[in-house]
Amino acid sequence: MDCIFCSIASPIYEDAYVIAFFDAYPVTTGHTLIVPRRHVPDYFSLNTEEKRAIDRAILALKRRFDQSLKPAGYNIGINNGKAAGQTVFHCHVHLIPRYVGDVSDPRGGVRGVIPSKQKY
């Protein structure tokens, strides 16, 4: 199968169910993708073990980044479907460390998927 996330060579985290690696086009330093080893398109296709493993990965990577990168916050997000912005159709969770001042006004965060509605 021709899928970039099925052939990642250098994960920064892995277990029996998931791997994680740095995003090739990071929006901030440390922007990481967590993916199930199984090729499934979206969050809704994950099984319980994969969802638990993703949660463990998020927490382990957060602890690691808190020490190494010292961000001030995180966004966690999944684009499910082309209409929601998904471009790689192997399920992946974006873990995005956030730093004070990385944007001038961060209010609204993930509401920014609809830019005109980000701030309320």
Residues noted as catalytic = 92
Q: Is 4 near ligand AMP (CB under 6 A)? A: yes
* Residue 85 contact partner, candidates ligand AMP, Zn ion, none, CB within 5 to 8 A by sort of partner: ligand AMP
Sheet containing strand 73-77, strands side by side: 13-14, 18-22, 32-36, 93-98, 73-77
- How far is residue 92's CA from residue 71's CA, in Å, rounded to a whole number? 21
Q: Is 75 near ligand AMP (CB under 6 A)? A: no
Strand 73-77 versus strand 32-36 pairing type: unpaired
Query: Identity (one letter) of the amino acid at 73?
Result: G
Instruction: Tell me how far, at minimum, the Cβ of 92 lies from ligand AMP, in Å.
Output: 6
Q: Looking at residues 18 to 37 of the shown chain, list those that interact with ligand AMP (rule: CB under 6 A).
A: 23-25, 33
The distance from CA 69 to its chain's CA centroid, rounded to whole angstroms, is 16
Instruction: Tell me how far, at minimum, the Cβ of 114 lies from ligand AMP, in Å.
Output: 15
Binding span for ligand AMP by CB under 6 A among 52-60, 65-73, 81-89, 102-110: 81-89
